[in-house]
Structure 1
Amino acid sequence: MDLKKLGWNDHWEQQWTMLDRKDAIPARVIGDFGHKYRVATAFSSDIWAEMTGKLQHELQNRSYFPAIGDWVAVQRLEGEERVIIQGILDRKTCISRQSAGTVTHEQIIAANVDTLFLVCALNNDFNVRRIERYLIMAWSSGVNPVILLSKADLCSDVNERLRLIQEASIGVPVHVISAHNNQGFEELSKYITTGSTVALTGSSGCGKSTIINWLSGEVLQRTQDVREGDNRGRHTTTHRELFLLPQGAVMIDTPGMRELKLWEDEGGVSLTFADIEEMSTTCRFTDCMHEKEAGCAVLKAVADGEIEEKRLLNYRKTLRELKYQTQKEAKAQSKLNSRNSNTNGTRRKSSEWLRLADE
């Protein structure tokens, strides 16, 4: 297989040259099944792969393990239909969230993505606040977000819902689509060009698998109808998988998310709520919390109808959540550092992991 079809370019070639590994070949993770993976290489478009035991032990933190979209260094095994992962190339972008449950843990959704399609169905599962959270995740990961309002054929007030999303996603492209009516196909074509990597995320039943089948022109993913009564979807996609589209792009499908717990903020909040943060610069107090303070420009904007109150409430909630998350992570890291040496539990460069695999 031509690695360029998988997104290999000068950026990865330069990083690979620095590794100086004659016994390894590059591969891209196209399927993530926990501790086992499917990868694509120059000699095979789909083969099983697993990490060396030493690499797995040294990585420790699950978020450092290979993820869908990662480029890895693998070694072929003579006479076997599998390869061994010896190292991971440094990620260009990384989309992550806090894993479900009470344990503080980063869950990688996809790596090395150029564009993230945030899919929101225009049925009864439509939720503006959820899109705001997705935008924070996207901006913080370093990818370019694009909002897709799917299932337009099932909505009677498309223009109103489009307006609500546009007001909450300043500067972000928004496209109304319908796979059933073939609406919006041409608009999406500019994102799925040769060599680009696009990922899809959204709640269960928003139509991600249908979009992949629609753009590819064939059935690559199984789909199911949403539940009757609440228009909620079933988890059709149960693992992360990478597909090659006929347009030349790589597309990553991810399982639907009922809940999105943000992992960290790398500027995503400021970009998502740019209107509120810009308005806050004119507040009377520099440390204004926009709750009850006198001279608060943000509260005045809400009273005047310039900013939606629900948007401000979501902004406050997000800041509180991220602050709490940072505190939990700091405590967890402190405990980890007390048990391990200074080198354990930290992210290393790919060249270091490859060296460790040889020791």
Structure 2
Amino acid sequence: MSSELRALGWGDDFEQAFEAYVAPLSSEERARLTPVRVVGVQRQTFGVRGLHGEEEARLAGASRHAGTLTPAIGDWCVLDRAADGAGRILAVLPRRTTFARALGASEDTRRSQALRQQVIAANVDLVLIVTAPDADFDLERLERYVQAVQQSGARPVLVLNKADLHADTGWWVRQLGTLGPGLEIHVTLAESGQGLEGLRALLTKGVTLALIGSSGVGKSTLTNALLGRAAAPTGEVRASDQQGRHTTTSRTLYLVPGGGLLIDNPGLRDIAVWDADAGDFGELEALAAQCRYRKCTHTTEPGCAVQAAVRAGEVSAARLAAFQGRRTRR
């Protein structure tokens, strides 16, 4: 297997899927096909990268009308390199992970109404959920981010950026710790490089890492710091409401010096989980088994172990609300 492709995140599963696709074709047809990864998405074209470097490609007309998946940033695709040099994407290889959100969710619940799925990124291994200790800090929204990442098959990592906004970030870190057991948390100041060593350690060869979070939390500054160059535009936060401007307007996959790949996403003001039922609430299920009453609703019953954990600061109210919402929909 090519080391160039491995550096882009290629693996045995993609290799097998590609070989299965080309197996029925003639040797002449196979010679024109090559696997590429989507590194940029424009309105009509896609930036792709493979053994021939980075190039531009379009979705083949036959694929467009045959119900083929629309490529997303991070996808591995089958590219037909025609004699004229124009690349045509024929197929999207099966995804290892799919980070998506539900569109059309009601504003009051932020729950999926199963209307439409928007794929944000594909084949991502780790997702950095970036927030800051300011007025935009919202545990309920962060809980939805965590659920969406877990549902995708990727691993969520929490990042409290802009650590200089408060002399003591301990309270904010403890709040993040209530969002789930075993969640990795990093405190950073991207502008100065503080705390970035732990994030750089996550970026090993072939590992794809994506950043998500509200506008203004410093995702683009983190991207530039990890890349060691000014690749993503950055902007100021409005003093009036602490809201950031959307400096990143498209998704781009970067190769990180020293290994790994990084996707910078536009700011997500909120997210509705495409399949909230798949959220992992194992620690809450275990607590619920310790409640005094077998059919405890975890609201006002005496002897509720879940409510006790909330009062002790071990579980956030936002996580409990998500857990109760899942149980209600069953």
In the superposition, the TM-score normalised over structure 2's length comes to 0.86
Find the counterpart in structure 1 of residue 38 from structure 2: 29
The count of aligned residue pairs is 314
Query: CA, structure 1 residues 13+44, in 2 after alignment: closer, same or farther (shift >3 Å)?
Result: same
Is the aligned partner of 1:231 residue 2:235?
no
Q: Any conservation in 1 of the 2:179–2:316 contact (CA below 8 Å)?
A: no
Q: Any conservation in 2 of the 1:139–1:266 contact (CA below 8 Å)?
A: no
Q: Any conservation in 1 of the 2:178–2:313 contact (CA below 8 Å)?
A: no
Shift of 1:84: 0.7
CA distance in 2, matches of 1:308, 1:122: 17
Is the aligned partner of 1:196 residue 2:228?
no
Is the aligned partner of 1:8 residue 2:27?
no
Q: Which amino acid in 2 is paired with 1:36?
A: T
User: Match for 1:88 among 64, 89, 92?
Assistant: 92
Q: Which amino acid in 2 is paired with 1:79?
A: D
Per-residue CA deviation, residues 82-112 of structure 1 (Å, 9 max, x unaligned), is 3111111100011111125668110101100
Q: Which amino acid in 2 is paired with 1:155?
A: H
Q: Any conservation in 2 of the 1:153–1:181 contact (CA below 8 Å)?
A: no
Shift of 1:140: 1.1
Between 123-132 and 197-206, report the one with greater CA deviation.
Answer: 123-132
Q: Any conservation in 2 of the 1:141–1:266 contact (CA below 8 Å)?
A: no
User: Match for 2:258 among 247, 250, 258?
Assistant: 247
Find the counterpart in structure 2 of residue 69 from structure 1: 74
Shift of 1:71: 0.2
User: Match for 2:52 among 40, 43, 46?
Assistant: 43
CA distance in 1, matches of 2:323, 2:167: 29
CA distance in 1, matches of 2:4, 2:298: 54
Per-residue CA deviation, residues 247-272 of structure 1 (Å, 9 max, x unaligned), is 211111111111111110363242xx
Q: Any conservation in 1 of the 2:139–2:318 contact (CA below 8 Å)?
A: no
| Superposition RMSD in Å | 2.4
CA distance in 2, matches of 1:161, 1:204: 19
1:240-279 superposed matches below 5 A: 240-265=251-276, 267-270=278-281, 274-279=282-287
Q: Which amino acid in 2 is paired with 1:90?
A: P
Is the aligned partner of 1:78 residue 2:83?
yes
SS in 2 for 1:200: strand
Shift of 1:10: 2.8
CA distance in 1, matches of 2:311, 2:7: 52
CA distance in 1, matches of 2:63, 2:275: 26
Is the aligned partner of 1:132 residue 2:136?
no
Gaps of 5+ in 1: 327-359
User: Match for 2:63 among 52, 55, 58?
Assistant: 55
Shift of 1:231: 1.3
Q: Which amino acid in 1 is paired with 2:76?
A: W
Per-residue CA deviation, residues 132-175 of structure 1 (Å, 9 max, x unaligned), is 11111111111111111111122233111111111323201100
Higher helix fraction (1 or 2): 1
Shift of 1:303: 5.6
Query: CA, structure 1 residues 246+265, in 2 after alignment: closer, same or farther (shift >3 Å)?
Result: same
Shift of 1:124: 2.3
Query: CA, structure 1 residues 53+150, in 2 after alignment: closer, same or farther (shift >3 Å)?
Result: same
Q: Which amino acid in 2 is paired with 1:315?
A: F
SS in 2 for 1:59: coil
SS in 1 for 2:91: strand
In the superposition, the TM-score normalised over structure 1's length comes to 0.80
User: Match for 2:288 among 270, 280, 289?
Assistant: 280
Q: Any conservation in 2 of the 1:153–1:180 contact (CA below 8 Å)?
A: no
Between 183-192 and 100-109, report the one with greater CA deviation.
Answer: 100-109
Shift of 1:77: 2.5
Per-residue CA deviation, residues 166-210 of structure 1 (Å, 9 max, x unaligned), is 132320110001112211121112211111111111111111111
Q: Any conservation in 2 of the 1:117–1:199 contact (CA below 8 Å)?
A: yes
CA distance in 1, matches of 2:170, 2:310: 23
Q: Which amino acid in 2 is paired with 1:99?
A: L
Percent of pairs with identical residues: 37
Find the counterpart in structure 1 of residue 224 from structure 2: 213
